[in-house]
Amino acid sequence: MPDYQAPLRDLRFVMDELLDYPAHYARLPGADEATPDVVAAILEEGARFAREVLLPLNQSGDREGCLLEGGDVKAPKGFKAAYQQYVEGGWPSLAADPEHGGQGLPHSLAMVLNEMVCATNLAWGMYPGLSHGAADALRHHGTDEQRATYLTKLVEGVWTGTMCLTEPHCGTDLGLIKTRAVPADDGAYSITGTKIFISAGEHDLADNIVHLVLAKLPDAPEGSKGISLFVVPKFLPDEQGNPGERNGVVCGSLEHKMGIHGNATCVMNFDGAKGFLVGAPNKGLACMFTMMNAARLGVGIQGLGLTEASFQNSLAYARDRLQMRALDGPKAPEKPADPIIVHPDVRRMLLTQKAFAEGGRMLVLYTAQMLDIVEQGQDSAEREHAESLLGLLTPIVKAFLTEVGFEATNEGVQVFGGHGFIQEWGMEQLVRDARITRLYEGTTGIQALDLLGRKVLMSQGESLKVFTKEIHRFCQAEEGNSEIAEFVRPLAKLNKEWGELTMGIGMKAMSDREEVGAASVDYLMYSGYVTLAYLFARAASTAKAALAEGTDDMAFYTAKLNTARFYFQRLLPRTKAHVAMIQAGAEPLMAISAEDFGLGFEI
């Protein structure tokens, strides 16, 4: 069975030394309880729960899967008991508003714990995961009555929530949905339609499931402007707020999937189900984006968690597995062969995983600070700045960290060789589970269009300038620091190139809109690599300062510098290929007609 130890030392480095979370929390109103001692205790207990409770259920849940009987779904053995422990421990309410039963701690702290959950049992983590987004949507857009009925139960974890968007004939293009909402005499609505790919749509972990459903009113405008949002509970709450009459919503079937077998991915049939309008009519998409943005950050953390899990188990195997001798002579002459960690190519795979785990953690925690400020900050200018950065970074967190997360888990299998292909080691499950992260909550292609088209070009590059100016200020401040010139100089060059590249795409797009779609994925990946380079350069500066001052943890800071060097010298050059592909433009993609794609075989 795979093992896992929460990377608490690296978390402390990023939170305390790199990003100064203690000072960050001190500035947040209502975050008084998030003292260093309290944060440390929460992280240690979260690490224990993830390793001792969730990790042992990961492989068994994958093999057992979920069971559908008469419209009711049973999660794998142990999942319900683990969820009860999770609720009893107060984990669901950690970062929620005390007004609704939450503990009022910063959102960033919950995101740190989410990494541990995703690293140990991604399928289980999806049951409570979407509840946070459902609660946010109701908090921001629900009526007082809706908040009183549903919000506290969702916050406490007694009930769970879902997001019901996708239909059999449409995914991302939600303007095509066919689910209908017909007004009833009592002010409610009758919801009829079918939704697919609904994570945790039906299960036995909680007493009730609160579905947030996109549907169209009879007089709705065509397209996405005619979408409304409804809250549709599995059981209609009675006068005391407890689950009462069963609503007209049922799981029709479970999807047979490549991975995340322990999570119920459902086809949900709404047959005259009673629903209640959330927000204004025909404004449902804006309401749902509250959930979707939170979910996208969560999926990026899934990519990070799986990267860390793959790295830890690859490292343990590489230290133990004996095969051949090092090319420059035996490293373990007392043994029949050397451990494979001595071989350069194995080190390349390990360092790739390590760099993406450490870089991804810095990116998630940096973005989490922006989320804290947006949600709790008091200064309007600071909130506006953070919101701009959060909007820019969200598609990068979601898409870049899942793309490199999938790469990392594949490298993990490769380190194990043939044993990685065998089920008992658990490495192949990481690959299967990681594959969905590049798809749900918007594919990499959709995130790329959001980044380049909506966030950058539609703002005339203003959102990007907010971030590149920050990088520029860092490079200027460190310009005379010869100790980290190896990081600052290439970063400054890339930062300048980022703006020029963006301008070039924008100029081409003025005469051919296809240029945006042709460039978008390469642009997103380029952006991800440069963003991580900025954070690694800051980490190198912090590590250098610690070494100069003298420290008892020389090995940690030296390894941090060496990982940054590996990233800059072996991974960051990938930006050159992305630039070349962007500059090749749309013509190589659009030159061949749709009819000519299949030349050479008959369909």
Catalytically active residues are 441
SS3 state at 233:
strand
SS (H, E, C) 248-307: CEEEEEECCCCCCCCCCEEEEEEEEEEEEEECCCCCHHHHHHHHHHHHHHHHHHHHHHHH
Q: Radius of gyration (Cα) for the chain, nearest Å? A: 25
Amino acid at 245: E
CB atoms within 10 A of CB 39: 23
Q: Which residue in this structure is represented by tokens 């060097």? A: 565
CB 230 within 8 A of CB 181: yes
DSSP 572: T
Nearest to 189 by CA among 302, 92, 278, 259: 278
Give the H/E segment covering residue 68: strand 67-69
SS3 state at 573:
coil
Q: What is 117-136 written as a DSSP string?
A: HHHH-HHHHHHHHHHHHHHH
As given in the structure block, the two tokens for residue 120 are: 């140990």
By CB neighbour count within 10 A (0-12 exposed, 13-18 middle, 19+ buried), where does 529 fall? buried
Sequence-separated contacts (24+) of 478-483 with Cβ below 8 Å:
478/537, 478/541, 481/541, 483/544, 483/548
Measured CA to CA, the distance from residue 250 to residue 539 in angstroms comes to 50
Q: What is 182-208 written as a DSSP string?
A: EE-TTS-EEEEEEEEEEETSS-SSSSE
Measured CA to CA, the distance from residue 28 to residue 20 in angstroms comes to 13
DSSP 247: P
By CB neighbour count within 10 A (0-12 exposed, 13-18 middle, 19+ buried), where does 154 fall? buried
* Angle, in degrees to the nearest 10, between helices 284-320 and 344-376: 150
Q: Which residues pair with 413 in a beta bridge?
A: none
